[in-house]
């Protein structure tokens, strides 16, 4: 069933200025903040009554029924059809009813002998795109019909919670009626749309003017909003700001974002004018804090609303050395030439603040000795100047955007090594697993194996805690297969802990349901062109070394699923997307005894290694969103890529090696940015 319904000395005057910092405000006890979040909480959308719609515009059934009790509001009526006659339903207790049939919100309930009908009175003549996704809520099956007056447009049998996708461009005449009919003893969710604007679909891969630079997501459980702090690329066309300035978008539903203004407090502004709000954490008193690199220390800012930020520093004299220092600053250790990309988290269990940062130990910086270091503070915000060296990265790219996260009873160290991204660009997210029950300063991180959570196209990804869940966001380069900085957000990616302590990634079940707008086509013997493959009972098997099965027709943005058998003797198997003679392979492949999920076209593309190469059975899901491809395997591995495709695909299956089999392959409609919550 569908699951619908972001140590220096200062003058005395300066010291007095910092003392003006407002006192910490104790976080109010709010039981709602501590309630366990569900997926539905994350993707919630508030009901809003539509304004009246007139003329050649976009009409959705929901524009008529949401918070409305009026027949004919925004051109929709609610009727029952019995014996061939249409009769208006009556409204009572939030439900339209008539003859045993009923409608409540998007749900349409039919019974034997009484059909549930949404009737749309055409307001103006013209061409319109009529589309929707009827799917089963209860019962075993139902028929749905679309009629233009008395003329049938389409009919479908709906037998599951995935439903079907209908899409028709029709010439409509003012005054005629479109009927959306449900028959049979079942309940169907159906929110059809009639769009006179013939608007193009909008990609789910959100971006902003000038693109997202490095992103730093923070979920605020008090407001239920996702705050996506990011660095400006300096490429804006309208409100141009300096490169590396802190900017912000906010999402109420993990899909759609709005630009939101950040401000520096006028009386006590952060000492850093550019990136003064990046990675955000909550301190012991419930205040929001952030950190940033200042060369020889990590500075800090503080906020009470996530929008207006102050200087967090307060002066004190360090009893150990008698020097004037400041709270919420992590002064780098002796022998450190400089440092950058600090990230701080608070561990309530130990009452400790941990600051992980990239430290350079020579003037050569990136070309010299370097690594990740840890600085710690108690609840007073006074950081030690002695560091714990975590990981040595000398001879490798910079370990950018590091983080420490506690998941379950383990600490995890995350970073993105420069040079491992597309064309040697900003790197993909890697991590090391700490020992169970051991604090991060006691873990021998250098001895821990490095694991990958993504491939080279998703850059500088960061994790944010969402209740007791974790989600991961990075940016997909704005030019495919090129070394550029900045781009588009990936789709919400859940990160979770597996039994062995390793991490898995997936498109969570609720988002998967939202993305799937219903069946468009299934691979079968009668609608595919086979080469080197045989087909039987919906399964396609390689018969001659390598094989393909091309699905008839062309398809737009799609959600594609398939079951794959890839024995140890085989080479690869997966889905192909072809456009203009260019083919991208989204597949599982074996190489050198290892197993990978890859998205590739010739020499361009990316991959991520699966930890267990002995696995042979896979469920592959693919979101083909115009030029963007996101692939998921067994709800355990994920991969993102920006391709040279545009979204008019020829879709096929491909495999190589003995024993390859692909079954239950189907193409569904992928939701877009504007209709995903319909």
388 with 334: CB under 8 angstroms?
A: no
Record the tokens describing residue 295, joined without a space: 């060369």
pLDDT at 481 over 60: yes
CA 448 – CA 456 distance, rounded (Å) = 22
Backbone angles phi, psi at 477, to 5 degrees: -50, 140
Mean pLDDT of 441-445: 98
pLDDT at 27 over 90: no
Mean pLDDT of 457-479: 97
The residues, any chain, with a CB within 8 Å of residue 144's CB and separated by 6 or more, are 134, 155, 156, 158, 164, 180, 181, 182, 183, 188, 190
The sheet carrying 429-433 orders its strands as 399-407, 410-417, 429-433, 451-452
353 with 381: CB under 8 angstroms?
A: yes
Structural domains of the chain ordered from first start? 12-21+206-506 (2.115.10.20), 58-195 (2.60.120), 513-670 (2.60.120.560)
The residues, any chain, with a CB within 8 Å of residue 151's CB and separated by 6 or more, are none
The residues, any chain, with a CB within 8 Å of residue 363's CB and separated by 6 or more, are 337
Residue 511 gets which letter from DSSP? H
pLDDT at 652 over 90: yes
pLDDT at 366: 84
Record the tokens describing residue 16, joined without a space: 């007095």
Q: HEC profile for 629-669?
A: EEEEECCCEEEEEECCCCCCEEEEEEEEECCCEEEEEEEEE
- The three-class DSSP label of residue 242 is coil
Q: Tens of pLDDT along 169-212?
A: 999 999 999 999 999 999 999 999 999 999 999 999 999 999 99
Q: Tens of pLDDT along 566-612?
A: 999 999 999 999 999 999 999 999 999 999 999 999 999 999 999 99
Q: Which ranges of 166-240 would DSSP assign to H, the alpha helix?
A: none
Percent of the chain with pLDDT over 90: 92
Q: Which of 486, 505, 507, 487 is nearest to 495 (CA)?
A: 505
Record the tokens describing residue 205, joined without a space: 């891969």
Q: Tens of pLDDT along 85-122?
A: 999 999 999 999 999 999 999 999 999 999 999 999 99
CA 8 – CA 318 distance, rounded (Å) = 11
Q: Tens of pLDDT along 271-304?
A: 999 999 999 999 999 999 999 999 999 999 999 9
Q: Tens of pLDDT along 146-156?
A: 999 999 999 99
Q: Which of 160, 257, 164, 282 is nearest to 203 (CA)?
A: 257
pLDDT at 34: 57
Record the tokens describing residue 271, joined without a space: 């000492």
Q: Which of 384, 371, 381, 376 is nearest to 338 (CA)?
A: 371
Backbone angles phi, psi at 14, to 5 degrees: -65, -40
Can you name the residues that pair with 186 across neighbouring β-strands? 110
Mean pLDDT of the residues in the chain: 93
Mean pLDDT of 619-641: 98
- CA torsion sign for 441, 443, 448, 450 is negative
- The three-class DSSP label of residue 112 is coil
Element (H, E) at 389: strand 388-392
Q: Tens of pLDDT along 330-387?
A: 999 999 999 999 999 999 999 999 999 999 999 888 899 999 999 999 999 999 989 9
């Amino acid at each position: 069933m569908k699951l619908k319904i972001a140590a220096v000395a200062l003058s005395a005057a300066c010291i007095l200025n910092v003392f003006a910092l407002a006192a910490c405000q104790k976080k109010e006890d709010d039981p709602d903040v501590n309630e366990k979040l569900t997926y539905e909480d994350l993707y919630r959308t508030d009901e809003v009554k539509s304004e009246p719609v007139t003329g050649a515009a976009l009409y959705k059934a929901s524009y008529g029924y949401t918070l409305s009790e009026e027949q004919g509001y925004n051109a929709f009526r609610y009727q029952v059809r019995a014996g061939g006659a249409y009769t208006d339903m009556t409204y009572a207790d939030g439900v339209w009813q008539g003859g045993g049939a009923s409608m409540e919100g998007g749900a349409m309930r039919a019974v034997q002998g009484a059909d549930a009908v949404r009737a749309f009175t055409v307001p103006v003549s013209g061409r319109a795109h009529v589309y929707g996704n009827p799917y089963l809520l209860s019962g075993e099956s139902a028929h749905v019909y679309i009629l233009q007056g008395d003329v049938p447009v389409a009919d479908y049998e709906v037998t599951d919670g995935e439903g079907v996708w209908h899409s028709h461009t029709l010439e409509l005449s003012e005054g005629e009626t479109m009927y959306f009919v449900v028959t049979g003893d079942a309940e169907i969710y159906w929110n059809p749309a009639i769009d006179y604007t013939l608007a193009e679909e909008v990609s789910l891969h959100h971006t902003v003017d000038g693109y997202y630079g490095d992103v730093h997501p923070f979920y605020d459980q008090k407001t239920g909003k996702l705050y996506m702090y990011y660095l400006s690329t300096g490429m804006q066309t309208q409100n141009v700001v300096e490169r590396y300035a802190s900017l912000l978008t906010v999402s109420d539903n993990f899909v759609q974002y709005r630009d939101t203004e950040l401000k520096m407090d006028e009386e006590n502004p952060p000492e850093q004018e550019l990136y003064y709000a990046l990675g955000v954490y909550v301190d012991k008193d419930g205040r929001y804090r952030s950190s940033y690199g200042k060369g020889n220390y990590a500075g800090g800012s503080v906020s009470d609303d996530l929008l207006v930020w102050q200087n967090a520093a307060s002066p004190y004299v360090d009893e150990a050395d008698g020097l004037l220092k400041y709270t919420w600053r992590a002064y780098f250790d002796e022998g450190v030439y400089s440092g950058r990309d600090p990230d701080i988290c608070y561990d309530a269990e130990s009452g400790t603040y941990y600051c992980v940062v990239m430290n350079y130990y020579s003037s050569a910086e990136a070309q010299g000795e370097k690594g990740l270091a840890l600085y710690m503070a108690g609840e007073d915000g006074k950081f030690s100047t002695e560091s714990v060296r975590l990981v040595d990265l000398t001879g490798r790219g910079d370990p950018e955007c590091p983080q420490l996260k506690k998941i379950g009873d383990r600490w995890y160290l995350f970073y993105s090594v420069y040079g491992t991204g597309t064309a040697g660009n900003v790197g993909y997210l890697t991590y090391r697993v700490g020992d169970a029950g051991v604090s991060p300063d006691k873990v021998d991180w250098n001895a821990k194996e490095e694991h990958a959570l993504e491939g080279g196209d998703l850059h500088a990804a960061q994790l944010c805690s969402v209740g007791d869940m974790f989600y991961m966001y990075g940016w997909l380069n704005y030019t495919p297969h090129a070394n550029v900085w900045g781009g588009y957000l990936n789709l919400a990616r859940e990160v979770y802990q597996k039994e062995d302590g390793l991490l898995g990634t997936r498109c969570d079940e609720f988002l998967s349901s939202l993305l799937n707008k219903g069946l468009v086509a299934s691979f079968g013997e009668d609608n595919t062109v086979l080469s080197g493959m045989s087909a039987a009972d919906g399964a396609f098997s390689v018969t001659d070394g390598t094989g393909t099965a091309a699905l008839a027709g062309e398809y737009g943005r799609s959600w594609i699923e398939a079951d794959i058998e890839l024995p140890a003797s085989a080479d690869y198997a997966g889905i192909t997307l072809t456009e203009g003679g260019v083919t991208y392979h989204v597949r599982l492949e074996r190489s050198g005894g290892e197993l990978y999920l890859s998205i590739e076209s010739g020499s361009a593309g990316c991959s991520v290694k699966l930890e267990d190469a002995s696995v042979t059975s896979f469920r592959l899901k693919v979101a083909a969103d115009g030029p963007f491809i996101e692939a998921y395997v067994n709800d355990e591995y994920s991969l993102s890529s920006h391709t040279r495709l545009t979204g008019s695909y020829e879709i096929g299956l491909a495999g190589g090696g003995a024993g390859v089999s692909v079954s239950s392959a189907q193409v569904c409609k992928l939701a877009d940015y504007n209709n995903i919550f319909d």
